[in-house]
Copies of this chain bind each other. A is one copy, B any other.
Amino acid sequence: MKKIINEANQVVDHMIEGMLATSPDLYKRLEDKNVITRKNAPTDGKVAIISGGGSGHEPAHTGYVGKGMLDAAVIGEVFTSPSAADIYETIKAVDSGSGVFLIIKNYAGDVMNFEMAREFAEAEGIQIDQIIVRDDIAVEDSIYTVGRRGIAGTIFVHKIIGALAETGASLAKIKEVAEQVVKNVRSIGVATNPCTIPAVGEPTFTLEDDEIEIGIGIHGEPGIERRKMMSASEIATYMLDRIFADIEINSEDDVAVLINGLGATPEMELYIIQHEVEKILREKGINIYRAFVGEYMTALEMGGCSVTLLKLDGAWKELLDAPSDAKNFFVRS
């Protein structure tokens, strides 16, 4: 796989410099760190929301930094957790004295480093709490994970919690809502083609020309099964059957839907999946309150997509629709 890069060990630094040059009014870089914060961070009178993780999943999480969503994104090397030291510096940089909340995808490295940073911060007297997102229903444990993995459903946590923080909600209230959102969000993905980590140079896995892997992770971690390539209708049916087996969503319930491209799948195909998902939900009498289709959390140039359903509590609709300045989840004020 050819990469449009310079040196493989500089990709994160060069990417961040490109982001800063593109959005100078939105972003600032934490000095000498692979961290992007809001331009005007810290923001007085609100709990600061931090997320992050390995790079290679762009626009996650930098694309969600901005008023109404994240205060900062901490960026690791490709598919590698950021260090506890960088997370700790980020916490100190964005805390306005109102506390900090960490949104962590469930990978062993991320959980370890975010929790270590949290301990450092607590020792300094910073009010801090966290949520671990585990939305991927495919497998219980995986290469990098104990328990379920965190994938694209994390974007809904960013949006709802980010909007809630903007209202001046307390750290305790934010924690309470985050736990409820995580209980109500489910995702599952499929892959049609692998991706290649720049520093490795070889694909993370191989698939035959006529194969699809269901339940694959966003780093190529094994999923549920490999099958012969299926139609969009079959893929959507399979994915929603698994989600409905895992969470009760009834007729008249409201959901938010996220159809997420993993990197190389044409937008055309994502909308074809969305059309199939919408048909299935309509047949069940489930109401799509909002749908989002695009690349929200990728795996470099992996082919495939994930489907996320968030069963909506009434109060979350307003938070989902609240203004956001984030580059990749812009909502008009």
The residues of A with any CB-CB pair to B shorter than 8 Å are 2-6, 11, 14-19, 21-22, 55-56, 58-59, 78, 190, 192-193, 209-210, 212, 229, 231-233, 235, 263-276, 278, 288, 291-293, 295, 298, 300-301, 303-305, 325, 330, 332-333
The one of B190, B193, B267 that contacts A58, using a Cβ cutoff of 8 Å: B267
Q: Known: A272-B11, A291-B21. Is A301-B265 also a contact (CB below 8 A)?
A: yes
Interface centre among A4, A19, A229, A270 (most CB of B within 10 A): A4
For the complex with contacts A22-B293, A265-B301, 6 further pairs of A-B residues with Cβ separation under 8 Å are: A4-B190, A15-B268, A17-B275, A55-B268, A295-B295, A301-B303
B232 near A22: Cβ-Cβ < 8 Å: no
A192 near B4: Cβ-Cβ < 8 Å: yes
Complex-state Cα separation, A333 to B332, whole angstroms: 8
B22 near A292: Cβ-Cβ < 8 Å: yes
A138 to chain B, nearest CB (A): 17
A266 near B300: Cβ-Cβ < 8 Å: yes
> Which residue of chain B is the closest to A234 with respect to CB atoms?
B6
A232 near B4: Cβ-Cβ < 8 Å: yes
Looking at chain A's contact residues, the main secondary structure is mixed
> Which residue of chain B is the closest to A16 with respect to CB atoms?
B271
> Could you say which residues of chain B place their CB within 8 Å of the CB of A15?
268, 271-272, 275
B19 near A273: Cβ-Cβ < 8 Å: no
B232 near A6: Cβ-Cβ < 8 Å: yes
> Could you say which residues of chain B place their CB within 8 Å of the CB of A288?
21
Q: Known: A18-B274, A288-B21. Is A305-B264 also a contact (CB below 8 A)?
A: no
A303 to chain B, nearest CB (A): 7
> Could you say which residues of chain B place their CB within 8 Å of the CB of A2?
192-193, 209-210, 212, 229, 303
Complex-state Cα separation, A61 to B198, whole angstroms: 32
A22 near B271: Cβ-Cβ < 8 Å: yes
A272 near B14: Cβ-Cβ < 8 Å: yes
User: What are 13 of the A-B contact pairs (CB < 8 Å)?
Assistant: A2-B193, A2-B303, A4-B270, A11-B268, A14-B232, A18-B273, A19-B293, A21-B291, A22-B292, A55-B268, A56-B266, A264-B303, A330-B332
A5 near B264: Cβ-Cβ < 8 Å: no
A119 to chain B, nearest CB (A): 31
Complex-state Cα separation, A304 to B4, whole angstroms: 8
A271 near B209: Cβ-Cβ < 8 Å: no
The one of B3, B14, B22, B232 that contacts A5, using a Cβ cutoff of 8 Å: B232
Complex-state Cα separation, A6 to B272, whole angstroms: 8
> Could you say which residues of chain B place their CB within 8 Å of the CB of A78?
268
Complex-state Cα separation, A270 to B266, whole angstroms: 17
A3 near B269: Cβ-Cβ < 8 Å: yes
Q: Known: A4-B192, A268-B56, A269-B5. Is A14-B263 also a contact (CB below 8 A)?
A: no
